[in-house]
């Protein structure tokens, strides 16, 4: 290779490293509406990645255990367990909310049914209707007004 070829290769490497530095990542934006799905997706991905890493590291540690490696594996287990517990809490909170909504809906429906039945069971009369019924159903009793 000539000096010119080497110089050309060095220049190309410099340009490629400059291009790599110039690449900007897009700004991270997260809307409130997408927050829950973002957390669920990334927590799930984190758990899957950590479980795969645990499996591969476990094989390495079993073959030649070192205290630092065992400690690292324990920390990875701890982090994975924490992520799983976080997802479990989200699930339990959703189930609790759904149950509370269902119970409240049933409570409202039962109160409405009781109110409707109460209105059906009430019998209302005017004063004239009550007197008419008393007179129609009344029995005539003869009373002797003899004074002793």
pLDDT, tens digit (0-9, with 9 covering 90-100), for 66-83: 888 888 888 888 988 888
Query: What would the pLDDT profile of 9-51 be if each residue is shown by its tens digit?
Result: 677 766 665 554 555 667 777 788 888 888 888 888 888 888 8
Residues 52 and 72: their CA atoms lie apart, in Å, by: 14
> What span, in angstroms and rounded, lies between the C-alpha atoms of 43 and 35?
12
- If one compares 38 and 139, the residue with the highest pLDDT of the two is 38
- Count other Cβ atoms within 10 Å, centred on residue 27: 5
| Residue of 76, 47, 44 whose CA lies nearest to 60 | 76
Q: Quickly state the pLDDT bin for 147 (edges 50, 70, 90).
A: low
Q: Give the DSSP letter of residue 64.
A: S
pLDDT higher than threshold 60 for residue 131: yes
CA–CA distance, 148 with 136 (Å, rounded to integer): 34
Cα angle 99, 37, 55 (rounded to 5 degrees) comes to 100
Q: What is the pLDDT of residue 53?
A: 85
pLDDT for position 97: 93
Query: If pLDDT is split at 50, 70 and 90, which confidence band does 121 have?
Result: low
Residue 73, Cβ neighbours under 10 Å: how many?
Answer: 17
φ/ψ (deg, to 5) at 132: -60, -45
The three-state secondary structure class of 142 is coil
What percent of the chain clears pLDDT 90, i.e. is strictly above it? 11
Which alpha helices (H) appear in the chain, and where do they start and end? 3-22, 35-63, 67-121, 127-137
Q: What is the mean pLDDT of residues 129-139?
A: 81
Residue with tokens 């002797």: 144
């Amino acid at each position: 290779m000539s000096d010119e070829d080497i110089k050309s290769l060095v220049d190309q490497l410099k340009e490629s490293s400059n291009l790599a530095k110039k690449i900007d990542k897009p700004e991270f934006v997260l809307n409130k509406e997408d927050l829950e799905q973002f957390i669920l997706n990334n927590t799930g991905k984190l758990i899957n990645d950590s479980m795969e890493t645990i499996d591969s590291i476990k094989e390495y540690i079993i073959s030649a255990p070192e205290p630092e490696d065992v400690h690292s594996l324990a920390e990875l287990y701890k982090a994975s367990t924490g992520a799983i517990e976080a997802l479990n809490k989200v699930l339990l909170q959703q189930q609790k909310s759904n149950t509370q909504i269902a119970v409240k809906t049933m409570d409202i429906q039962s109160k409405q049914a009781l109110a409707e039945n109460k209105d059906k069971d009430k019998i209302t009369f005017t004063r004239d209707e009550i007197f008419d019924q008393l007179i129609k159903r009344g029995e005539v009793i003869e009373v002797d007004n003899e004074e002793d």
